[in-house]
Amino acid sequence: MIEVENLIGGEYSTAAESFDDICPSDGSIIASIPRTMMVDDAVKAAENAQPGWGALSLEQRADWLDKIADALESQHRQLAELEALDTGKPLEVAMEVDISRSIENFRFFAEFSRNMPEEVFEMEDATNTVLRKPVGVVGLISPWNLPLYLLTWKVAPALLMGNTIIAKPSEITPLTAHRLGQILCEIGFPAGVVNIVHGYGPEIGQSLVEHPAVKAISFTGGTATGRLVARTAAPMFKKLSLELGGKNSSIILDDADLGLAVPGVVRAGFLNSGQICLCGSRILVHSSIYDEFLESFLAAVSELKIGPVISENHMAKVLSFIDLAVAEGGDIVAGGLRSEDDGFHIEATVITGLSHDSRTATEEIFGPVVTIHRFDSDAEAVEMANCTDYGLAGSVWSKNRGEELAKQIESGMVWVNTWLHRDLRVPFGGIKDSGVGREGGMWSLGFFSEAINICVKHNDLQARV
Ligand code: NDP
């Protein structure tokens, strides 16, 4: 049994009350989590540490990111085991996706900063130099689906730009964030620069968003929670980055290479039990290849081994969507049931026969459930893909027309003949109800800094030269 503690100013502490962390694989209690209510102590610690951390050079901070990456790398397997325990995901997925990417997040931003061009704009009679100052104390709120991966995607750029941090991981998956805090202490990372607080979202998360000394909130989570965060933070003029839900289409055109498309679309539908904001849970297939695609897709799905969904509540939500699909007239052509008595397992589920604008096909389920729909023309595929309130991601599978069609999809990212193929320099984020702002490369560094322009008028001597 692990005791999760808050990390505040380099010291560990608990709270008056605690609650249980449940393992999704078998329903057992694996840790106790402090029910922290107020964020004031963490804010004080972060405020105290900010001037010292902000005074380091970019290069010094980049060196720290590399040291953190080294330390995480030295514990790659242990961290993956912890993530697999907390989320129920297969160990290989935790190793290859979650922890590899968490390490890469630190390495990437360290290296990116070393190659950052200076931002200088010459005028005939003056020179503009853009400085990037830290925002100050920033709040980082992350979800349970990719716990360390998404937290470190925020921690690394926030640190690089000289901010101090209060991180609030999901109450459902606190273990790798807790371990990250321990690792920082072990490598002598300056106290108070990273503070990690645990508890319920509406309590400690809300308190973090409300605190006037927290100058920016980077939030990844559901659209409904994002709306609440925005309502609280916007009137205080905090910087706000919102990475929210998705309901993404995988579009298979009539000229698709099915040998590539079928495994790609299966992976997009079911990786991490469908619990990735980028998962393609609405599959749109051209009528002329529909039967062939469906047969191969179902054969591939029948071979899948997937982990549980994250919690009992979430399992109930996903199963209720399967009931809704039946009520809406859908045919469950694969899966549809809870698959084991222990833990929170649901079979990989495929639904056909629904309208593309049904609730099942347009609301985010965030589980191992996909719907399949037919279309007759590229224009119809675009119209069907764009009919949801979300606009996060999508994929198009076609030998010749993928890029052209991708440009017409209303979403922040579209992959052509691939999925989840990530270059960390590119903008990542959604439009419509999928969020506000972008992360990645310079977009992250822009969010975690205040760009200040210094305009120096040339003196007469310089002007004459
Ligand atoms: P939630 O919105 O429930 O929670 C996200 C985070 O917000 C958690 O840390 C949660 O804490 C916290 N929180 C809850 N209430 C508040 C509040 N009032 N104020 C501040 N913080 C609060 O999302 P889930 O954890 O369920 O994650 C799944 C969702 O995240 C899906 O919709 C998915 O699409 C989205 N997501 C988006 C991504 C993107 O990049 N666009 C990437 C990954 C996921 P607690 O857990 O303790 O309640």
Residue nearest to atom 21 of ligand 1 (CA): 205
| Cβ-Cβ contacts under 8 Å for 343 (sequence gap 6 or more) | 23, 24, 25, 26, 27, 88, 308
Q: How far is the CA of 194 from the centre of ligand 1 (A)?
A: 20
Tell me the Ramachandran region of residue 339: left when phi exceeds 0, alpha when psi lies from -120 to 50, beta otherwise: alpha
Of 83, 104, 243, 347, which is the active-site residue? Answer: 243
Q: How far is the CA of 157 from the centre of ligand 1 (A)?
A: 20
Backbone torsions φ then ψ of 271, nearest 5 degrees? -60, 140
Domain ranges of the chain: 2-244+434-453, 249-416
The reported pLDDT for the residue numbered 465 is: 55
CATH number of 2-244+434-453: 3.40.605.10
The amino acid at residue 169 is P
Q: Which residue has the tokens 């830290």?
A: 134
Q: What is the mean pLDDT of the chain?
A: 97
* Structure tokens, 429: 């984020």
List C-alpha distances in Å: 289 to 54, 138, 330.
57, 50, 20
- Nearest ligand 1 atom to the CA of 434 is 41
| Cβ-Cβ contacts under 8 Å for 36 (sequence gap 6 or more) | 6, 15, 197, 198, 199, 203, 204
Burial classification of residue 41, based on how many CB atoms lie within 10 Å of its CB (0-12 exposed, 13-18 middle, 19 or more buried) = middle
Residue nearest to atom 14 of ligand 1 (CA): 201
**120-122: strand order across its sheet:** 120-122, 126-134, 449-457
Residue 64's DSSP bridge partners are none
SS3 168: strand
Task: For ligand 1, pick from 138, 277, 317 the residue to mutate: most ligand atoms within 8 Å of CB.
Answer: 277
- Nearest ligand 1 atom to the CA of 392 is 41
On the question of pLDDT at 462 being above 70, the answer is no
On the question of pLDDT at 461 being above 70, the answer is no
Short-list 10, 60, 31, CA closest to 184: 10
CATH top-level class of 249-416: alpha beta
CA separation for the pair 191, 175 (Å, rounded) = 20
Is 455 an annotated catalytic residue?
no
What share of the chain has pLDDT > 70, as a percent? 99
Q: How far is the CA of 222 from the centre of ligand 1 (A)?
A: 5
Q: How far is the CA of 225 from the centre of ligand 1 (A)?
A: 6
The reported pLDDT for the residue numbered 209 is: 98
The reported pLDDT for the residue numbered 341 is: 74
Instruction: Outline where 115-249 has alpha helix (H).
Output: 147-160, 175-186, 206-210, 223-233
Q: How far is the CA of 170 from the centre of ligand 1 (A)?
A: 7
Q: Residue 463 — pLDDT band, cuts 50, 70, 90?
A: low
The reported pLDDT for the residue numbered 172 is: 97
| Ligand 1, pocket residues at CB < 6 Å | 141-145, 150, 168, 170-172, 200-202, 205-206, 209, 220-222, 225, 228-229, 243-246, 277, 364, 366, 392, 430, 435
CB–CB of 46/58 below 8 Å? no
pLDDT tens string 64-79: 999 999 999 999 999 9
Is 279 an annotated catalytic residue?
no
pTM score: 0.97
The amino acid at residue 116 is M
CA separation for the pair 373, 214 (Å, rounded) = 45
Short-list 94, 434, 406, 412, CA closest to 271: 94
DSSP classification of residue 183: H
